[in-house]
Amino acid sequence: MDWKNEEGYKVLFNAYYNVLCNYAYKILQNDMDAEDVVIEVFVHFWTNKDKIKVEEGKLKSYLFSSVKNKAFELIRSGKIREKHNQYYSDIMAANADDSSLDEDLFLIREALKRSLRHLSPKTKEVYLLRTQNGLTFAEIAAALNINRRTAENHMANAIKKLRELVKENMKIYNS
Amino acid sequence: MDIQEVILKVLNKKDAAAEYEQLKVWKAETEDNLKIYQEINNIVEQGNHLKDYKEYDVESGYARFKNQISDSTNGWIKYAVAGFILCIGAFYLINNSSKTTTEEITPQIYQAENTIKPFDLKDGSTITMNTGAVVTEMTDFTKIRQVALSGEAFFDIQPDKSRPFRVKLDDDLFVEVLGTSFNIINTENEFNITVESGHVELKTLGRTISLYKGDAVKLHEDTLVKYKQKTSNHLSWMKKELTFKNAPITAVLDDVSAHFETSFDVSSKVANSDCNLSSTFNTESLQQIMVELSKMVELSFTKEKDGSYIIEDIRCK
């Protein structure tokens, strides 16, 4: 992805803004701080685009690491109110191998969220009831007044479509 | 196994051990199988996380980004020592910078004067402060327009998508708007927000309350409660006018006591009466209004030494 011109940077921004805000939120637990940190990282990348050389395929990691570092820096600076300090120091201690901050999982969630917009309402509903709410097919069938086999078919259909859509939506993160 | 079967086995693997065994054998057969398994598993597992996955406003984020890069005096550049960072990775650079996300300025403090009149902020927004209110500008308004408020004030904010306007009310209590008008009371004893136009977001740690025209929020037993305004008299301190249109007497008494900062002790007969009235009061004193009310709905009342009133009886006409 050529991100060093204005058009390319906008594509980069659109692709990453939401997922990075979610990532920062995971650390900061506050929407405003999350958005501030992400915007600051984007401003920094743009302002220093002539000096920053990103290795092939490493852009994604640089963005996530920058957001993570910036977020932890904000916590260390003591701008976050005290009663959450323990919570944050716990996160920081666990940070080294914290799978809850796995960037690839965040990218899959972002791609899934974008992909869901392309499913039919019923298929989407069955998918969410099964994965988010943890309902069994029998429960879904009862809730939606369809038979169990139909619920299973909706789900299989959802996953088949989502596999393709997620692959498509993930392309930009691997370029 | 066809894909459909694999999908159903992935979904049911927690419930049925036999299914899981079959699946294990199948995914070990070829690399392709393993890949398909992982893809399906991701879609199933990560679906569970979508309920916590938020949608941020990318457009206004981009507008804020554009606004900040146009501010070329940005302190970042001086940290980016030329030739220092090559392939090391940009995040080290960010890590080394000590600039924080809020702009530090010498705060400009505004205190309420004796006469209630609006004053202009540098972005063209206006604030009208009630007696005793203090507004502090917390940023220089280049990236984010942020002020702090104690006391009561009415805000009429210039729209600007790239620079949200925030009113800080407590450590983790903010109002955030892009352009709108609203009234806030933020004192030790009272907390209340009412929206006159546009959209206002009240944000506390991890929670956002969206408010539109006619909505209000108050603090009730440490909980923020959203409600609809019954009359428009919450701005009477600024407009110097109380207006009632077919308003229940209890609402009238509430608004009058709030306006004159006094209290009414209301008998149960008055509290339960269904008298309604319509009237406008401008320059009248409290005593004059009480006399007026006693004519309209035969209100009988006694004034106490401390300035409060006991409202004993009422009769609708």
Minimal CA separation from B48 to chain A, in Å: 4
- What span, in angstroms and rounded, lies between the C-alpha atoms of B242 and B252? 9
Nearest chain A alpha carbon to B174? A32
Q: What is the pLDDT of residues A66-111, one digit of tens each?
A: 999 998 888 877 665 554 555 555 555 555 446 778 899 999 999 9
Q: Any idea what the CATH number is for the domain that residue A168 is in?
A: 1.10.10.10
Q: Are residues A68 and A118 in the same domain?
A: no
Which structural domain, as residue segments, surrounds residue A42? 6-100
CB contact under 8 A, A105 and B176: no
B149's enclosing H/E stretch is strand B145-156
ipTM computed for the complex: 0.89
Distances in Å between the Cα of B118 and the Cα atoms of B113, B146, B149, B186, B238 are 10, 18, 15, 18, 9
Long-range contact pairs involving B195-202 (C-beta distance under 8 Å, separation at least 24): B196/B235, B200/B175, B200/B176, B201/B175, B201/B176, B201/B177, B202/B173, B202/B174, B202/B175
Q: Are residues A94 and A146 in the same domain?
A: no
- What span, in angstroms and rounded, lies between the C-alpha atoms of B255 and B233? 6
CB contact under 8 A, A159 and B55: no
CB contact under 8 A, A47 and B76: yes
In chain A, pLDDT over 90 holds for what percent of residues? 53
pLDDT, greater one: A170 or B13: A170
Interface mutation vs chain A, best among B86, B101, B175, B201, most A CBs within 10 Å: B101
Please list, in sequence order, all residues whose beta carbon lies within 8 angstroms of the beta carbon of residue B44, skipping any fewer than 6 positions away. Answer: A130, A131, A159, B10, B11
Closest CA to B180 of B203, B209, B154: B154
Q: Is the pLDDT of residue A144 over 80?
A: yes
The answer to whether residue A1 sits within a structural domain is: no
Q: Which pLDDT tens digits describe chain B residue by residue (317 residues)?
A: 677 777 777 777 666 677 778 888 888 888 888 888 888 888 988 988 888 899 998 988 898 898 888 764 444 433 333 333 333 333 333 333 333 444 455 667 888 877 788 888 888 899 999 888 889 888 888 888 989 998 899 999 998 888 889 998 887 788 888 778 899 998 888 889 999 888 888 887 667 788 888 888 888 777 788 888 877 788 888 888 899 888 888 888 888 988 888 888 888 888 888 888 888 998 788 888 888 888 888 888 888 888 888 888 888 87
pLDDT value, residue A158: 93
Q: Are residues A89 and A147 in the same domain?
A: no
CB contact under 8 A, B50 and A29: no
Q: Give the CA radius of gyration of chain B.
A: 30
Distances in Å between the Cα of A34 and the Cα atoms of A37, A68, B54, B181, B220 are 5, 10, 12, 26, 29
CB contact under 8 A, B61 and A13: yes
pLDDT value, residue A123: 93
Smallest Cβ distance to A131: which of B47, B55, B172?
Answer: B47
Q: Are residues A149 and A112 in the same domain?
A: yes
Q: How far is CA B101 from the centre of its chain?
A: 21
Q: Any idea what the CATH number is for the domain that residue A93 is in?
A: 1.10.1740
Nearest chain B alpha carbon to A156? B4
Is A113 in a helix, a strand, or coil? Answer: helix
| Boundary residue ending a domain (A77, A100, A123) | A100
Residues of B with CB below 8 A from A84's CB? 205
Q: Are residues A115 and A130 in the same domain?
A: yes
Residue-range domains of chain B with CATH: 3-51 (no CATH), 58-96 (no CATH), 108-228 (2.60.120.1440), 233-313 (3.55.50.30)
Q: Are residues A132 and A83 in the same domain?
A: no
Q: Are residues A119 and A150 in the same domain?
A: yes
| Boundary residue ending a domain (A100, A131, A148) | A100
pLDDT value, residue B67: 85
| Boundary residue ending a domain (A66, A83, A100) | A100
Residues of B with CB below 8 A from A31's CB? 54, 56, 203, 208
pLDDT value, residue A147: 93
Smallest Cβ distance to B50: which of A43, A132, A166?
Answer: A132
| CA angle centred on B58, ends B55 and B63, rounded to 5° | 150
B91 to chain A, any CB pair closer than 8 A? The answer is yes
Q: Are residues A16 and A93 in the same domain?
A: yes
Residues of B with CB below 8 A from A13's CB? 58, 61-62, 65
How many domains does one find in chain A?
2
End-to-end CA, chain A: 6
Q: Are residues A91 and A21 in the same domain?
A: yes
In chain A, pLDDT over 70 holds for what percent of residues? 87
Instruction: Give residue A47's identity as a one-letter amino acid code.
Output: T
pLDDT value, residue A134: 84
Q: Are residues A81 and A156 in the same domain?
A: no
Q: Are residues A122 and A90 in the same domain?
A: no
